[in-house]
Amino acid sequence: MRAEVSDAAHARLARVRTLVRKEWRQMIRDPASIAMGVVLPVILILLFGYGLSLDVKNVPLAVLDQDGSALARGLIGGLQLSPYFQPRPVASLRAAEALLAARRVDGILTVPQQFARRARAGGAVVQLVVSGTDANTARIIEAYVNGVVAAWAAREAPALAGPVRVQSRLWFNEANDSRYFLVPGLIVLVMTLIGAFLTAMVVAREWERGTFEALFVTPVRAAEILLGKTLPYFALGMVGLVLCVLAGRFLFHVPVRGSLAVLLLGSMLYMLVAVGIGLLISSAVKNQLVASQVTLLATFMPAFMLSGLLFDLRSMPAPIRALTYVLPARYFVALLQTTFLAGDIWSVIVPNALALLAMVAVIALVLGAITRKRLA
């Protein structure tokens, strides 16, 4: 009896191994898979690491000094010392506004007449005009100018500088380097691309060609088929993960403060979800073109826009916030940003990992039901 059981288990294992080997060969011999699984991720890594940055530096700023006093020059000197600005003296407001309209400068700082006299008495005003065509950059510029002005005031007129002084700190990212959160975000995108997108496209193609149906008449079981399909893409996704972590650590110098084990386990969970979604979409539409578009809309775009990778989820309107709770990327972004930058903080890791685990379970159940139904 026991021997029989172990024989059956053996046969099963052998079947899964055969399937995995077949899928793997198919995957690495298919130029489309290689392009999707290797070339696109590498492009993404380079674009994210080098191309995307929210760090404003060397802002060209027109400076109009209508006062000309030593105090005013001191304030402007503060701008010159700051790495964030490239001040450009102008002679008139008209000239400055022409520069701003032509986008040669991002803002105009005006130090008005009588500035020195008023500053000593309190109540001087420095005027900043920014271009709101890029609102986020404009706000960062405003904050930086504010910082320069406050530092100047604290130095020149400590008595008048205001009773509450602020000491601000940016935990986990003291240098305020936007790569620190863009690189973990990149991993989410790469794994979504390989897991959901590639799987959906390749399996949809198998549906189109009828090779998937041919599998169903073999004695292979539903769970085995799913396992055979999932594992190679899962492995490719892990390769993508390793690439990203290495690039993040050594090319872009993003710290990994949590443990690699958590990073790996969390990524495996997300990869399972992504591959599962890819399989679900492909078996629902069975057409490469539609599958790729649905996957793009349902996984890639949300992973970019609605995951907290770039935009803060808490500030989105309630219906959209509710929508983000069904998106796996949301949980993975939280998990990754924490593991990379903050360390093994279980109060973040556990709930997010559990959410992903629940998604794996639901997807596995649905997939199992669909596959069994087709076998019956």
Partner 1 sequence: MKQKLGLACTLVRPPQLLVLDEPTVGVDPLSRRELWQIVRHLVREQALTVLMSTAYLDEAERADRVVVLQGGRVLAEDAPESITRLAAGRAFALRPVAPDNARRLQARLLASDALIDAVPDAGAVRSVWRQAESALAAGAAAVTPRFEDGFMVLLRRTLAPEMHGEIVLAHPPAASSGPVIEVADLLKRFGAFTAVDRVSFRVARGEIFGLLGPNGAGKTTTFRMLCGLLTPSAGVLRIGGVDVRAAGDAARAQLGYVAQKFSLYGPLSARENLEFFASAYGLRGARRRARIDWALRQFELMQADGAAADLPGGFKQRLAMAAALLHEPRILFLDEPTSGADPLARRAFWRRIAALADQGVTVVVTTHFMQEAEYCDHIVIMDAGRVLAQGTPAEVRARAPREGERDPTMEDAFIAVVEQARAAETAVVAGAA
Partner 2 sequence: MLAALLRIAALTRKELLAVLKDRRTRLSLLVPVLVQTLVFGYAASYDLNRVPYVLWSRGAGEAATALVARFDGTGIFRRVATVSSEPALRAAIDSRRALLALELPPDFSRRLAAGHPATVQLIADGRNSNTASTALGYAQAVIGSFNASWQAAHGQGAPPVRLSTRAWYNPNLLTRWDMIPGLIGTLTLLQTLLLTAMSVAREREQGTFDQLLVTPFRPVEIMAGKALPAMLIGLAQASGVLLVAQLWFRIPFEGSFAVLYGGIIVFVLAAVGIGLVVSALSYSMQQAMLYSFVLLMPFTLLSGLTTPIANMPRALQYFTRINPLRYAIEIAQRVYLEGAGLKLLLPDLWPLALIAAVTLSAASWLFRHRLQ
* Residue 210 interacts with partner 2 (CB under 8 A): yes or no: no
* Residue 70 interacts with partner 2 (CB under 8 A): yes or no: no
The least CB distance from residue 283 to partner 2, in Å, is: 18
- Of 18-26, 123-131, 231-239, 365-373, the segment contacting partner 2 by CB under 8 A is 123-131
Nearer to partner 2 among residue 56 and residue 226 (C-beta): 56
Q: Quick one: which of 246, 82, 228 has its CA closest to 148?
A: 82
Residues that bind partner 1 (CB under 8 A): 214, 217, 219
Query: Which of partner 1, partner 2, none does residue 129 bind (CB under 5 to 8 Å by kind)?
Result: partner 2
The least CB distance from residue 210 to partner 1, in Å, is: 10
Query: If DSSP states are collapsed to H, E and C, what string results for 3-35?
Result: HHHHHHHHHHHHHHHHHHHHHHHHHHHCHHHHH
The least CB distance from residue 335 to partner 2, in Å, is: 11
Tell me which of 15, 65, 84, 181 binds partner 2, using CB under 8 A: 181
Tell me which of 36, 76, 196, 303 binds partner 2, using CB under 8 A: 36
C-beta separation of 256 from 213 below 8 A:
no
Residue window 343-362: x/- pattern of binding to partner 2, with contact defined by CB under 8 A = --x-xx--------------
String of DSSP letters for 254-307: ----S-HHHHHHHHHHHHHHHHHHHHHHHHHH--HHHHHHHHIIIIIHHHHHSS
Estimate to the nearest angstrom the gap between the alpha carbon of 220 and the chain centroid: 39
Query: Which of partner 2, partner 1, none does residue 131 bind (CB under 5 to 8 Å by kind)?
Result: partner 2
Nearer to partner 1 among residue 26 and residue 137 (C-beta): 26
Nearer to partner 1 among residue 18 and residue 127 (C-beta): 18
The least CB distance from residue 370 to partner 2, in Å, is: 21
C-beta separation of 229 from 203 below 8 A:
yes
Nearer to partner 2 among residue 231 and residue 306 (C-beta): 306
Estimate to the nearest angstrom the gap between the alpha carbon of 226 and the chain centroid: 29
Residues β-bridged to residue 284: none
Query: Which of partner 2, partner 1, none does residue 69 bind (CB under 5 to 8 Å by kind)?
Result: none
Q: Taking the CB of residue 254, how many other CB atoms lie within 10 A of it? A: 23
Lookup: tokens for 349? 């890791």
C-beta separation of 277 from 363 below 8 A:
yes
Report d(CA 34, CA 373) in Å as an integer: 32
* Residue 142 interacts with partner 2 (CB under 8 A): yes or no: yes
Strand boundaries in 13-112, DSSP class E: 59-65, 85-89, 107-111
Tell me which of 38, 69, 93, 131 binds partner 2, using CB under 8 A: 131
Nearer to partner 2 among residue 184 and residue 222 (C-beta): 184
Nearer to partner 2 among residue 114 and residue 218 (C-beta): 114
Nearer to partner 1 among residue 83 and residue 219 (C-beta): 219
SS3 63: strand
Q: Quick one: which of 145, 111, 144 has its CA closest to 126?
A: 111
C-beta separation of 199 from 207 below 8 A:
no
* Residue 279 interacts with partner 2 (CB under 8 A): yes or no: no
- Of 13-21, 237-245, 314-322, 353-361, the segment contacting partner 2 by CB under 8 A is 314-322
- Residues 187-206 within binding reach of partner 2 (CB under 8 A): 201, 205
- Residues 145-174 within binding reach of partner 2 (CB under 8 A): 145-146, 149, 152-153, 156-158, 160-174
**HSE of 50, CA atoms in CB hemisphere, 13 A:** 8
Report d(CA 275, CA 364) in Å as an integer: 10
Query: Which of partner 2, partner 1, none does residue 169 bind (CB under 5 to 8 Å by kind)?
Result: partner 2
